[in-house]
Structure formats: structure tokens, C-alpha cells
């Protein structure tokens, strides 16, 4: 997982997998990506950064089930009554946490998991959101966060057979594999 640079082959693979065939017309462009990063105090991990700048800012093709949302957007079912998201604060987890199994879950930590250090890539519906971590030790990793808990994506974490990171997450989806195919 290379989160510092995106090679042309990876970007071509993402373009093909996500149906971005408009020659970059739906891309944000580098000035808009730089402005977003400056406004939020983050540097987006590659290859997602180059994807939104050069290829497409969102995709109807998926993943996830309801498509990849645009960089500055949230899924339609996100709701208006949630706390402010703070991307520059580090994402607080490095391992799976199923808070519904805790007798006394830490509500403040749950709020930080949902709102700090990640952008929302999209939803599979029913309150299941895919996040890309942009700050903290898990920068570049994709996580599934739902009302029950938070689970990192990637074979090293034991729930799936995919490569970690945005490109691995897209490859796994593009191959038609189930999200938790190792569990």
C-alpha cells in the first residue's frame, strides 16, 4: 500500500474499475484538492488523492453499494444532526472495535471514530459507511464504520482477503468479492 504516490497503472486500474470514462471532466482538479487539504489541515493519501484530482470526484459505479461520494460530500443518509467532522484530528483506532459488544462503550470515543481523521467514501446503506483514514497511524486505510462498530479493511486484519488501502478496496469490490470474505 503506497499512500505517498500513485503510479499510472494504479490510476488506470481505478479509472477502469469505477467507470470514469469522461477523460477527467468529473475530476476536481489539483487546485480544488489543494484547497480542500488546506481548509482541513490534511494531505489526502494516494492513490485516492490523484483519483479525485485527475479522474473523478465520486462515482456512481461503486464501491460502495450506493457509489463513491464526492470528496467534500457525505452520503444522503448521513443526517444533519451529527457533530462536526474534524479531519485534522487523528483517527483514533488501529484495530477493530465492536462497541455493541462492550458493556459500557465510550460514547466520546465512538463519536471520534465516526467524525475524526477520515473522509466518508460512501455507504452500503443501513448506516454502514466506508471511511478513508486521512490522519493518524492508520492513514491510507479504509474502514467500515456502522452502528455496531468499526472494522479495518485488508487481509492483515482478518475479515477479508483484500489488499489494504483505497486501491485494494476498489480491487476487492471490482473482483466481485464479498466485503468480509475471510470471516
CATH of the domain at 55: 3.40.1580
Cβ atoms of 129 and 145 closer than 8 Å: yes
Domain count, the chain: 1
Identify the pLDDT of residue 97. 95
**182 assigned to some structural domain:** no
List the single range of 53-57, 88-92, 113-117, 133-137 with lowest mean pLDDT: 53-57
Q: What is the tens place of the pLDDT at every residue in 122-139?
A: 999 889 999 999 999 999
Identify the pLDDT of residue 69. 93
Mean pLDDT over each residue of the chain, to the nearest integer: 91
Identify the pLDDT of residue 21. 63
Q: 113 falls in which pLDDT band (50, 70, 90)?
A: very high
**30 assigned to some structural domain:** yes
Identify the pLDDT of residue 59. 84
**33 assigned to some structural domain:** yes
Cβ atoms of 85 and 116 closer than 8 Å: yes
**1 assigned to some structural domain:** no
Q: Which residues contact 170 (CB under 8 A, 6 or more apart)?
A: 13, 14, 17, 18, 63
**181 assigned to some structural domain:** no
Average pLDDT over residues 6-31: 84
Q: What is the tens place of the pLDDT at every residue in 36-49?
A: 999 999 999 999 99
Q: Number of helices (H) and strands (E), helices first, in the chain? A: 5, 4
Contacts of 77-80 with CB under 8 Å at 24 or more apart are 77/123, 77/125, 77/127, 78/120, 78/123, 78/129
With pLDDT > 70 as the criterion, what percentage of the chain qualifies?
Answer: 97
State the residue range of the domain holding 20: 8-174
**183 assigned to some structural domain:** no
**56 assigned to some structural domain:** yes
**17 assigned to some structural domain:** yes
Q: What is the tens place of the pLDDT at every residue in 85-98?
A: 999 999 999 999 99
Amino acid at each position: 500500500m503506497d499512500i505517498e504516490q500513485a503510479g499510472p497503472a494504479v490510476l488506470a486500474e481505478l479509472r477502469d474499475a469505477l467507470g470514469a470514462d469522461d477523460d477527467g471532466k468529473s475530476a476536481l482538479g489539483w487546485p480544488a484538492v489543494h484547497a480542500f487539504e488546506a481548509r482541513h489541515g490534511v494531505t489526502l493519501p494516494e492513490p485516492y488523492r490523484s483519483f479525485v484530482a485527475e479522474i473523478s470526484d465520486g462515482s456512481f459505479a461503486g464501491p460502495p453499494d450506493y457509489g463513491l461520494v464526492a470528496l467534500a460530500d457525505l452520503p444522503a443518509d448521513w443526517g444533519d444532526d451529527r457533530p462536526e467532522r474534524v479531519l485534522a484530528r487523528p483517527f483514533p483506532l488501529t484495530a477493530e472495535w465492536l462497541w455493541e459488544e462492550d458493556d459500557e462503550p465510550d460514547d466520546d470515543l465512538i463519536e471520534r471514530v465516526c467524525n475524526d481523521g477520515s473522509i466518508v467514501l460512501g455507504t452500503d446503506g443501513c448506516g454502514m459507511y466506508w471511511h478513508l483514514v486521512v490522519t493518524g497511524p492508520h492513514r491510507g486505510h479504509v474502514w467500515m464504520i456502522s452502528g455496531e462498530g468499526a472494522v479495518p479493511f485488508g487481509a492483515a486484519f482478518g475479515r477479508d482477503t483484500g489488499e489494504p488501502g483505497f486501491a485494494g478496496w476498489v480491487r476487492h469490490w471490482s473482483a466481485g468479492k464479498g466485503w468480509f470474505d475471510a470471516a
